[in-house]
Chains A and B, each alone.
Chain A
């Protein structure tokens, strides 16, 4: 990893930002000022800053000693981005078209785009089976309130569950 300083630097920036957020906490009830809502988070933020600085110093020292670079594993950023994007789209789709259609689409896309599966039996069969199994368990047996989507889709889904 060439970017070993990335996590500590990220933590440092986050800590500074979150400190400003923690200073704005408004308590609904006044109790002791000293142990207010920001008391514990601020202790943690200071600790994060200290630990991150230590980590950075260590990286700096290690680099001067030119630490051996560990072997690089295969990495396909495109597939990862596609998989994450499909999941994000799934979440948005749940809002829009409801559980059943969104889940079917998500599974088909994952198989076709990310795993490059072309056999239609799998691309159609697996999502159909999986979605109906989830439907039966989560909605049928446990009546979990899965989203129904909006507009036309809401009405359509309301007919099913």
Chain B
């Protein structure tokens, strides 16, 4: 009994303390209706999404007038994080990192959660994808790949990360429209895939520019096709998918969203803050360093929502066709 009394006293004391803290907190808050904003990243520290969030979050916080903190909650292709975001109130105090994985998770049935449960805030950039071969290996140019694949249907080994993933969709769209038969080899992480490419066990891999630029500059890897409408100024000799007459596959992008049902004013304020943050020196330096500014990618809330709906339909068609293979 004594114990319970004591416990109650401790509880009462700490509650009072917390209340007192909240008064101070409320007094110092700006007009954004949160004491602080938490940005939940569904991937581990150090990955692409994490680096993006950490590079833009301080500027977003400055623009909003409340501190914005990045939190990692890795697991199950960021589904664990998505569940956490949806568990929290729709008050605009919790941000969520969005990548094409949200769409593929939903389409392949990994989760019942839909992208429609989120309200997009902004798409920040596009990480242009390319097909690469090992330098000094079997293929120096894309034409050589086409020739080989036509002579040996189904023998071309194409590496990418994940099964029924964004990478596999990209490979399917490109090789499908080129009329080439290939074999997709899924990898869990890109480091093993890179070793297999350099070791001569893979013919071609799909990966983004931000990851590959170092290996290209070092002369280990030869870019074959840019998966975009136009060539990139950085790699002027590499043809684009469009000029070769292929369907341009979707591009990898990164953005942020909040839970659906967040008040419109909050979404608007967030969108403005993100747009402002995307122009900040620090973030621009980050984009430049990782070659994320090679292709225009910035979209506001409405544009991002439309893009999600479009790409959802497209991915669904491609993944449906993969099942029957």
Q: With a CB–CB cut-off of 8 A, which chain B residues contact A158?
A: 35
Interface residues of B in 1-22 (CB under 8 A from A): 2-3, 6-7, 10-11, 14-15, 18, 21-22
CB distance from B29 to the nearest CB of A (A): 12
CB distance from A126 to the nearest CB of B (A): 13
> Nearest A residue to B71 by beta-carbon distance?
A145
User: A96-113 toward B: CB 8 Å interface, digit per residue (1/0)?
Assistant: 000011001000100010
Q: Is B214 an interface residue (CB 8 A)?
A: no
CA distance A158 to B11 in the complex (A): 17
User: B155-198 toward A: CB 8 Å interface, digit per residue (1/0)?
Assistant: 00000000110001000000000000000100000000000000
Q: With a CB–CB cut-off of 8 A, which chain A residues contact B10?
A: 104, 124, 128
Q: Is A69 an interface residue (CB 8 A)?
A: no
Point out which of A124, A143, A144, A159 has the most chain B C-beta atoms below 10 A from its C-beta.
Answer: A159
Count chain A residues whose beta carbon lies closer than 8 angstroms to a beta carbon of B: 23
Q: With a CB–CB cut-off of 8 A, which chain B residues contact A64?
A: none
> Nearest A residue to B34 by beta-carbon distance?
A158
CA distance A46 to B184 in the complex (A): 30
Interface residues of B in 68-86 (CB under 8 A from A): 69, 71-73, 84
CB distance from B228 to the nearest CB of A (A): 25
Q: Determine whether the beta carbon of B18 is less than 8 Å from that of A29.
A: no
Q: Determine whether the beta carbon of B6 is less than 8 Å from that of A159.
A: no
Where chain B touches its partner, the secondary structure class is helix
Decide: A160 near B7, CB < 8 A? Known: A143-B69, A145-B84.
Answer: no
Interface residues of A in 71-124 (CB under 8 A from B): 100-101, 104, 108, 112, 120, 123-124
CA distance A26 to B322 in the complex (A): 13
Decide: A28 near B164, CB < 8 A? Known: A112-B3, A120-B3, A145-B71.
Answer: yes
> Nearest B residue to A101 by beta-carbon distance?
B11
Instruction: Select B2's contact among A29, A101, A120, beta carbons within 8 Å.
Output: A120
Decide: A160 near B21, CB < 8 A? Known: A28-B164, A145-B40.
Answer: yes
Q: Determine whether the beta carbon of B71 is less than 8 Å from that of A28.
A: no
A-B contact list, 30 entries, CB within 8 Å: A27-B323, A28-B108, A28-B322, A29-B163, A29-B322, A29-B325, A30-B324, A30-B325, A31-B325, A101-B11, A104-B10, A120-B6, A123-B3, A124-B6, A124-B10, A128-B10, A143-B69, A143-B71, A144-B71, A145-B38, A145-B71, A145-B72, A145-B73, A145-B84, A158-B35, A159-B18, A159-B21, A159-B22, A159-B25, A160-B18
Q: Determine whether the beta carbon of B3 is less than 8 Å from that of A156.
A: no
CB distance from B100 to the nearest CB of A (A): 15
Q: With a CB–CB cut-off of 8 A, which chain A residues contact B168?
A: 29
Interface residues of A in 131-156 (CB under 8 A from B): 143-145, 154, 156
Q: Is B319 an interface residue (CB 8 A)?
A: yes
Q: Is B109 an interface residue (CB 8 A)?
A: yes
Decide: A28 near B109, CB < 8 A? Known: A124-B10, A145-B84.
Answer: yes
Interface residues of A in 8-45 (CB under 8 A from B): 26-31
CA distance A105 to B236 in the complex (A): 64
Decide: A156 near B15, CB < 8 A? Known: A123-B3, A124-B6.
Answer: yes
CB distance from A39 to the nearest CB of B (A): 14
Q: With a CB–CB cut-off of 8 A, which chain A residues contact B324?
A: 30
Q: With a CB–CB cut-off of 8 A, which chain B residues contact A27?
A: 323
Q: With a CB–CB cut-off of 8 A, which chain B residues contact A26?
A: 109
CA distance A154 to B323 in the complex (A): 43
CB distance from B49 to the nearest CB of A (A): 15
Decide: A30 near B322, CB < 8 A? Known: A128-B10, A158-B35.
Answer: yes
Contacts A28-B109, A156-B18, A159-B21 aside, 8 further interface pairs with beta carbons under 8 A come to A28-B163, A28-B323, A29-B163, A30-B322, A31-B325, A112-B3, A159-B18, A160-B18
CB distance from B18 to the nearest CB of A (A): 5
CA distance A85 to B325 in the complex (A): 49
CA distance A2 to B164 in the complex (A): 50
CB distance from B76 to the nearest CB of A (A): 14
